[in-house]
Amino acid sequence: MATKMIENPIDERIKKDCCNVCQTYVKSGEKGIMCEACKNWYHLKCVKLYDLLLTEGTKQIHWFCNQCDGKVMELCNITAQCEKMERDLCEIRQELNKKADMTVVANSLIELENKIIKQLQTKLSAEVNNRVETHAESFRDIVNNSYRKQLMTGLEYRQMSYRKGRARLMMLRCRLRRNKIKNT
């Protein structure tokens, strides 16, 4: 909203608002300006806006009094910060959308990988079963031979234990005979 800089027409009555600098009314025929923020009127000469700055074609300018100028600048800074935050937020949203898209792609790849793994497991299982069936007789022979060896080893151990026990028994009998002979 631009502040109107007007020259009061002759037929207009005295303004109700007075100049905040000199505390007199801005009258008809006097050049005045209104602060865009607080809407107070000022004489151009009181705020040192000389006619040299104003051209014939200038009807509207943005102007703030000394009291409002700092607040308006602060408001402009806050507005600029808000606009920057809004741009940053848009960038963050775009990044999140990209990451969401990447997540969808990653999930699709994981699903595909799981399907491939299942197919490979099925093929591997079939191949192992095929080889086991092919070599089943060989495995049975190996197991049977191993079992026979264990049985033979166990038998041989028992036979050896039996022989040792028999030898001891014979030695004990000999000792008993000697003891009987000595005692008689």
- The SS3 of residue 10 is coil
Provide the percentage of residues in the chain whose pLDDT is more than 90: 5
Checking if the pLDDT of 3 tops 60, the result is no
pLDDT category of residue 84 using cuts at 50, 70 and 90? very high
Tell me which of 42-56, 61-75, 86-100, 106-120 is least confident: 42-56
Q: Which CATH number fits domain 1-64: 1.10.10.10, 3.40.50.300, 3.40.50.720, 3.30.40.10?
A: 3.30.40.10
User: How do the domains of the chain map onto residue ranges?
Assistant: 1-64, 65-122
- Is the separation of the CB atoms in 27 and 15 below 8 Å? yes
CA 19-53-10 angle, 5° bins? 50
Average per-residue pLDDT for the chain? 77
Considering only CA atoms, which of 40, 32, 35 is closest in space to residue 8? 32
Residue 184 DSSP SS3: coil
Q: How far apart are CA 42 and CA 57, in angstroms?
A: 20
CA dist 69 and 55 (Å) reads 23
Whether pLDDT at 40 is above 80? yes
Confidence grade of residue 15 (pLDDT, cut at 50, 70, 90): very low
**pLDDT tens-digit readout, 148-177:** 777 667 667 777 777 777 788 888 888 888
pLDDT band for position 139 (cuts 50, 70, 90): low
8 Å CB contact between 24 and 15: no
Residue 143 has pLDDT above 90, yes or no: no
Cα 104–Cα 106–Cα 107 angle in degrees, nearest 5: 65
The DSSP code for 115 is H
pLDDT of 85 reads 92
- Give the global pTM: 0.39
Give Cα separations from 122 to 24, 35, 118 (angstroms).
Answer: 99, 83, 6
Which pLDDT does position 70 carry in this prediction? 86
CB 43 within 8 A of CB 18: no
